[in-house]
Amino acid sequence: MTAPIIELRNINKSFGPIDVLHDINIKVHAGEVLCLLGDNGAGKSTLIKILSGVHKPSSGSILMDDAAVAFSTPREATDRGIATVHQFGGTFPLMSIGRSFFVGVEPTKGWGPFRIFDRKKANEIAVKAVRDFGITRIDDGDRLVGGLSGGERQSLAIARAVHFGARVLILDEPTAALGVKQATHVLRIVNEAKKRGLAVIFITHQVMHAMAVGDHFAVLIRGSVAADFRKGEKSREEITDLMAGGETIADLEKEIENYMASHDGHPPPVTPG
């Protein structure tokens, strides 16, 4: 097998006295989808920030193509081909599709101080890039991003990352806020990105979505990788149980029953957070 595009070796991260990540080891190859599963607070977002150059690890190393790399800014990570797409697409709701697609790398035409933004070219490229991903409903680059559906926005952001040469695509809960149909849309695009040979890191807590596209799964619990397995090695229930922190759902149900029996049939009080 060839070297993984990106690999984390023994990554630790602490904020002052608080250890957030311990000894994280993961690797993703080209054309592979790694699903990073975990409950809220398991350290998923810290891991994303390390991958995308927002935070530096306290110890451990990041390797790309078997060579150690260090990112001091998100910009450096982007230059290395690591693209992060956030839950709401991370795009600009009140900008047009063409303009938001090219933010920071505007195509221009003309000369010297009179170089102007090439709206026609920007729109054409943006619309084509999204349509290549199978989103055929987008055909006018002047439309505002805010007018697109959640799935279309995600797709636009992914298409943008791919267009600008991303090799590693980090998707942060892309399906969390979406309905079933929209989520299917996004999953299809994840598959498309995989087919094009990108390494995809797909963060989610929806096991169904993960199982639909994942080749490889890592479950994060309290900052450590609690399980690391390949497609088909575990069932949906097993994964759910793992995410719940080792306790099985069956155990939980039992606990609740016991509680209700000893409290005149009242369910346990819900503590927020």
Partner 1 sequence: MTSMPLASIFRRPEAGSLVGLLMVVAFFVVTGGVEFLYLSSVGSWLSRAANLGIIAIPVGLLMISGELDLSVGSMITAGSMITALVSGFYGLPIIVGIMAALGFGILVGMLNGYLVVRTHVPSFIVTLGTLFAVAGLLLGLNIVLTGTTTVTLMAPELAKTLFGKYFGQGFQVLIIWWIVITAAFVFFVHYSPYGNWIFAIGGDKVSARNSGIPTERMTILLFVLSAVSAAFVGMSQAILFQAVQATPQMTLIFNTIIAVVVGGVLLTGGFGSVIGIFFGTITFAVVTQGIYYTSFDQTWSNLIIGVLLLGAVLMNNTFRKMALTYAPKKK
Distance in Å, CB of 123 to partner 1, minimum: 8
Cβ–Cβ < 8 Å for 57, 224? no
Min CB(246)–partner 1 separation in Å: 35
Smallest distance from the beta carbon of 23 to partner 1, in angstroms?
28
Q: How far is the CB of 17 from partner 1 (least distance, A)?
A: 26
Closest CA to 231 of 250, 211, 249: 211
With respect to partner 1, which residue has the nearer C-beta, 82 or 213?
Answer: 82
CB of 121 to partner 1, least distance (A): 12
Residue (118 or 192) nearer to partner 1, CB: 118
Nearer to partner 1 among residue 116 and residue 250 (C-beta): 116
Give residues in contact with partner 1 (CB under 8 A): 74-75, 78, 90-95, 99-100, 102-106, 108, 115-117, 120, 123, 137, 139-140, 142-144, 146-147
Question: CA 240: distance to chain centroid?
Answer: 19
- Taking the least distance from each CB to partner 1, the nearer of 91 and 182 is 91
| Shortest CB 223 distance to partner 1, Å | 24
Cβ closer to partner 1: 140 or 247? 140
Query: In terms of CB distance, is 146 or 179 closer to partner 1?
Result: 146
